[in-house]
Structures are given as structure tokens and as C-alpha cells.
Amino acid sequence: MKLVEVSTLLEPFAVQTDILQSDAQSLSSIIPCILNLECHLQQHTAAKAITSRMLQDLHSRFATLLYPDTDNFNPIPAAACLLDPTMAQAIMSPECAVLLHAAKVYVSTVCKCKEPTVVHIPDSEDASASSSLSSLTSPTSLHRFKFLANKIISSRLTTASGSERDTVHTQLNNYIADIMEDEIKDAMKFWEQRLTRYSKLNEFALDLLSAPASQAYVERIFSLCGFLTTGRRNRMEQSLEMRAFLKLNSFL
């Protein structure tokens, strides 16, 4: 009976490990997998002494991914989970409110950095160049008042920058409301169909969704290619890709 309890306790860890080290899972799967194992340990009825220690170890091991107040906190997995409409529900619970906020802040910050920067008007002694630049952003009547015009221009640039920040924030909130209403089954298709609607989030979301959950599969490919090219086959070129493909998909 003890072995059965231990096997039941550890089996979900083996399942989640196999899932994350495959080539079919993206970076967005990391946080849901960790939270799923956390729930498993919390709900397991037997071996409370073991589950409590394992739960403590889980929180300690993945603190940099789950708790924003931890040193060296990495918000990328949480951001990937947020921008994956098939996984985002995992961090929408009240228990994950702090993690969700950290993910939203990180997404907003990165998306703002990806936006075109505003060109500020230089304070130059060249009157013709200054006049040419000022005419693009200030009323013609203020060209004579150089310092007042610069102040008004700076105020307008600040306001414009603020509106851009609001746009990113608004798109993120609209995205969350959108995925809460409908069940999304294909994340890539979701973002491809909404290139215009979420124009400030789309590029970053696709970057995160294309990242693998782990590097185990890539390392496995390198190891396999190393075995296939040892000895007298070290000059093999044309058939290496085919042999590696067949070996990796031999279970199909």
C-alpha cells in the first residue's frame, strides 16, 4: 500500500516532466504545470508529511517564477502564460493576482519598448532647422517664442506618450476580457486573426508562443546527431536530416 501511495503521489510529476520536455509545448505551459502540481500536492489525502515537504520544496524551487517579490524574479513564463489564450485562465484566480499583475506590467513594459520612439526636437542654434522641426508639432503663431514653443511641444509629446501607454494597457485589458468570454483552442490562430485589434501585443505574444517550454528536446536532437555522425559516418550530409527525423519519430 505504501508503494501504491508513493506511486500515485509521484506519477503527476513524471507526466508533467514528459509534457514539458517535448517539442509540442511552448513557454506558456510552465506556470500551469507548476500550479497543477501544487494543487495535486494540496489535494493529495495520503502521506501528509511527505506532501507538505514536497510542497515547500516546490515553492522554494520555483519561487523565481511564482513570486514577484523574490530576488531574481523572472516574469517571462507568467507573461507567456498570460498571452496564450489557451493557458491564461491558469493565472486568473485570486490566488495568482500578484503574479498576474507582474505579468501584465512586464507585457506592458516590453510592448511600450517595441513601439516607435518619439523624436524630441533638439535645441539647436540653426534657426532654419529648428523652425522646420517645430512646424510639424507647434502652431505657426508660436514660432517667434522659441522657449514657449518648446514647452508646449514637450507637453504634447508627453501627452502623446501617455496615450500610447494607455493604448497598450487598454489592449491588454480588452484581450483579457476577450479570452474570458470565448473558449480558445488555437493560440497561434487567435493572434493571427487579431493582428489589427491587438497590434501592440501581437508581435510579443507570437515571440513568447514560439519559445519552447524547455531545451531538453533541442539537446536531444544534438545528442542524436552526434551519435549518427560518429565513426565512419562523420562525413554524412544528405541523409543526416532524414535519419534524425526517422529516429525522433520512430514511435509514430
Block residue for cell numbers 491587438: 198
Q: Model's pTM, two decimal places?
A: 0.68
Which cell goes with 192?
493571427
Greater confidence (222 vs 10) lies with: 10
Task: Identify the domain containing residue 38 by its residue range.
Answer: 9-17+25-114+123-213
**143 and 185 housed in the same domain:** yes
**160 and 171 housed in the same domain:** yes
Residue 56's pLDDT band, with cuts at 50, 70 and 90, is very high
User: What average pLDDT does the segment 230-238 reach?
Assistant: 64
Render 31-50 in DSSP notation, one character per residue.
HHHHHHHHHHHHH--S-HHH
Q: Report in angstroms the alpha-carbon separations of 62 from 14, 19, 57, 96.
A: 17, 18, 8, 14
Cα–Cα distance for residue pair 167/119, rounded to 1 Å: 19
**87 and 172 housed in the same domain:** yes
Q: What is the pLDDT of residue 79?
A: 94
**160 and 201 housed in the same domain:** yes
Render 129-178 in DSSP notation, one character per residue.
HHHHHHTTTS-GGGTT-HHHHHHHHHHHHHHHHHHHHHHHHHHHHHHHHH
Max mean pLDDT among 8-22, 59-73, 135-149, 169-183 falls in: 59-73
Q: What percent of the chain has pLDDT over 70?
A: 73
Report the alpha-carbon angle 8-14-15, nearest 5: 95
**92 and 128 housed in the same domain:** yes
**184 and 132 housed in the same domain:** yes
User: What average pLDDT does the segment 64-81 reach?
Assistant: 93
pLDDT at 217 over 80: no
Residue 3 placed within a domain: no
What pLDDT digit, counting tens, does each position of 123-182 carry? 444 444 444 444 445 555 555 566 666 666 666 655 555 444 558 888 999 999 888 877
**104 and 189 housed in the same domain:** yes
Residue 171 placed within a domain: yes
